Structure 1
Amino acid sequence: MPEQNWFNPRGSRPEAGWTDVVDGRIAGWEHTGLRTGTLSDGAELRLPAAAVERMVVPLSGSFHVAWSGSESGEQGLEGRGGVFEGPTDVLYLGSGLEARITGSGRVAVAEAPTDIVKPVGYIAKADVPVELRGAGQSSRQVHNFGTPAGLDAVKLLVCEVITPAGNWSSYPPHKHDTNIPGGESNLEEIYYYESAVARGVDAPATADPFALHRTYASDDRAIDEFREVRTGDIALVPYGWHGPAVAAPGYDMYYLNVMAGPDPERVWNITDDPAHGWVRQVWETETIDPRLPYASKKEDV
């Protein structure tokens, strides 16, 4: 497959007002999708009726979603000031619905193709399962609003991860590209990245927040991606070992993960790269990074 399939810089796939649209029209990609967009008051973004289930995730700002089809309704999303301010409320839209999003800020919509219809579901930010994962310099914060812990869906698995400056995430490297019942899932994965000057740090106007993303082959399917990523960039993982995702010193890192696949069971089971999986044992002697958890700035006061 062409190398450019697996890395999409911000703005490289614009469509119908969306900043980027990733879906099955990309060669070799079929189980997941993602839309990202920016809205100002008075503007709107539309989601066409299609055989896909969706989750609307405010990245920054607040939104209103109205939908129609097999069911109709509307829901306000309080959102948040930005992705480094803790969880957001989210909205799940079942397959076949069309929707209109209005408001002000940045929004992402995760997608997975399916003909099976589940009811619309709203998850308030107070109900989002928050997990502090890893330890030491592998500490990160996970918001599991779109996993089985937080959502009843058909195929879609969605979570987001905050990694403080200097820490490693998606580590140790792992894969989920083979269906081994009870052992490993076969899932495509999307990483949508944002990076910002670390919380509480004064930086010059010339600061250029970035992070690093790595994907490499786990079998005879060739893939080799080592990318510098910035806010709005999208990395695709069709198969292979992936990780680490690294927050550079001075810059916090965020990513939204969207996963789905052909397996009958909606579950995230992984296999660690045997060269690095032993690192998990080190966490037993370390503590969670004291900078975590990240909440809204007003909650920190």
Structure 2
Amino acid sequence: MTTPSHHLPAGKAADGPYAVDIGPESAGWGYSSLRVLELPPGGQHAYDTGDSEWIVLPLSGSCTVAVDGRTFRLTGRPDVFSAVTDFAYVPRDARVSLASRDGGRFALTGARCDRRLPARYGPASSVPVELRGTGNCSRQVNNFGAAGVFACERLIAVEVLTPGGNWSSFPPHKHDEHRPGEESELEEIYYFEIAAHDGTPGLGYQRVSPSGRGRGTDVLAEVRHGDTVLIPDGWHGPSMAVPGHHMYYLNVMAGPGAERAWLICDHPDHAWIRDTWPGQPVDPRLPLCTAPSQ
């Protein structure tokens, strides 16, 4: 069962200059936002951050980010599968200008917040690359905006690369209630890009099932390049990459908790799968890309 308001095919969430424009008002929640901006060669775009903090993340191409009298030059990358990228953090209550000489696509990951932190540059060399799971549950996590890695007030954002044929976001897990030391309450956005093969577009699948809390979110969606899935609550996973097509997804999370933390609870029917990982090798295709050395 696919709930249209939770699975947004490419173009469905477009608005004005943005290929994707999702915020608290459109999602019907309190904190998390995602915009995807496409700039032509020589293109420029300015926006006000309002009551949210943001990370500007190149998906393809390079750009400059001007904010608070500073300019950050982002080297970027050709695409999400070929390199770990640098990024820029911009605070709430600011005017931000982006410009790209050669054009590109840029993700703006945001979260409503209270404090105004300083604008900063995040070098690609500082991004921890984690290989999570083993066997056909192997995937790569680029923890550029993870809690404990890069300082934000509420925003948590990471990239996940799943080789074709593998299962990611597995075992299914949730973070839709506050349980101190055990689980965080976090809204989440999944934004997908799927690698083509010899020019043929790819696809994948995303499952979200009700946890008994919140809205009872229930999604079984075929996801393609540019799709998003909104997860206000529920068990999410697996994210399935079909054979022959690597899957990328960008996770954006934020919530009301005083502690910025990613604490999850595994689905009790599937939590045992973690115990099988130590006995299997990591998929030899990983990492698909690495961060440059400092």
- Give the TM bin, normalised by the shorter chain: over 0.9
CA distance in 2, matches of 1:23, 1:265: 22
CA distance in 2, matches of 1:271, 1:89: 31
Moved over 4 A (4+): none
For residues 72-114 of structure 1, give each alpha carbon's deviation from its aligned partner in whole angstroms, at most 9, with x where no partner exists: 2111100011000131001111111111111111110000011
CA distance in 2, matches of 1:175, 1:139: 19
Map 1:1-301 to 2 at 5 A.
3-26=3-26, 28-67=28-67, 71-103=68-100, 104-197=103-196, 203-205=197-199, 207-219=200-212, 221-295=215-289
Instruction: Kindly indicate whether the alpha-carbon contact (under 8 Å) linking 2:194 and 2:201 is maintained by their aligned counterparts in 1.
Output: no
Matching residue's letter, 1:190: I
Is there any run of 5+ residues in structure 2 with no aligned partner, and where? none
For residues 146-180 of structure 1, give each alpha carbon's deviation from its aligned partner in whole angstroms, at most 9, with x where no partner exists: 01232111000000010101011000000000000
CA distance in 2, matches of 1:13, 1:267: 28
Cα separation, partners in 2 of 1:140 and 1:49, compared to 1, 3 Å: closer
Is there any run of 5+ residues in structure 1 with no aligned partner, and where? 198-202
Cα separation, partners in 2 of 1:204 and 1:160, compared to 1, 3 Å: closer
CA distance in 2, matches of 1:178, 1:49: 28
Q: Is the partner of 1:278 in helix, strand or coil?
A: helix
TM-score, with length taken from structure 1: 0.92
Give the stretch that moved more between structures: 215-224 or 158-167: 215-224
Deviation at 1:204, TM superposition (A): 4.4
Deviation at 1:18, TM superposition (A): 1.1
Deviation at 1:66, TM superposition (A): 0.9
Matching residue's letter, 2:153: V
Matching residue's letter, 2:134: A
Q: Is the partner of 1:148 in helix, strand or coil?
A: coil
For residues 97-154 of structure 1, give each alpha carbon's deviation from its aligned partner in whole angstroms, at most 9, with x where no partner exists: 1111111111100000112111112111111111110001011111111012321110
Deviation at 1:3, TM superposition (A): 2.8
CA distance in 2, matches of 1:41, 1:232: 21
Instruction: Kindly indicate whether the alpha-carbon contact (under 8 Å) linking 2:54 and 2:109 is maintained by their aligned counterparts in 1.
Output: yes
CA distance in 1, matches of 2:117, 2:94: 11
Deviation at 1:14, TM superposition (A): 2.3
CA distance in 1, matches of 2:31, 2:284: 37
Cα separation, partners in 2 of 1:109 and 1:211, compared to 1, 3 Å: same
CA distance in 2, matches of 1:64, 1:204: 32
Deviation at 1:49, TM superposition (A): 3.7
CA distance in 2, matches of 1:166, 1:32: 30
Matching residue's letter, 1:186: E
Give the stretch that moved more between structures: 155-164 or 21-30: 21-30
Matching residue's letter, 2:230: L
Cα separation, partners in 2 of 1:27 and 1:249, compared to 1, 3 Å: closer
Deviation at 1:287, TM superposition (A): 1.0
Instruction: Kindly indicate whether the alpha-carbon contact (under 8 Å) linking 1:41 and 1:102 is maintained by their aligned counterparts in 2.
Output: no
Q: Is the partner of 1:162 in helix, strand or coil?
A: strand
Give the stretch that moved more between structures: 214-223 or 137-146: 214-223
How big is the alpha-carbon RMSD for the aligned residues of Structure 1 and Structure 2?
Answer: 1.5
CA distance in 1, matches of 2:69, 2:5: 36
Aligned length in residues: 287
Instruction: Kindly indicate whether the alpha-carbon contact (under 8 Å) linking 1:185 and 1:269 is maintained by their aligned counterparts in 2.
Output: yes
CA distance in 2, matches of 1:204, 1:257: 27
Matching residue's letter, 1:4: P
Q: Is the partner of 1:3 in helix, strand or coil?
A: coil
